[in-house]
Amino acid sequence: MITIRGIVIPIDWDEEGNIVAIAVSTHDEEEYLICGQDKGEELRTHIREEVEISGVLRKEKGKKTIIVIDYSSKKV
């Protein structure tokens, strides 16, 4: 379990311009892909907001992925 803090950013879109994947960009320029389950899906409503996330870290295909257990948001 880890806790990270950063800004929610979109990282992939479909053909119609809808966001299909998001990540958190931390202050030390690390990027964590958000796994799209429950709490992870809720973060789509927090694009460009600062969040603090607690979750399980995994490495998939050389990228850091976090399964969100809990989060809090602070508008920037």
- pLDDT in tens for each of the 76 residues of the chain? 999 999 999 999 999 999 999 999 999 999 999 987 788 889 999 999 999 999 999 998 888 999 999 999 976 5
Kindly list the structural domains of the chain, giving each domain's residue range(s) and its CATH number in brackets, ordered by start. 2-74 (2.40.50.140)
| pLDDT, position 28 | 93
| pLDDT, position 5 | 96
| pLDDT, position 75 | 67
| DSSP state string for 31-74 | EEEEP-STHHHHGGGGTT-EEEEEEEEEEETTEEEEEEEEEEEE
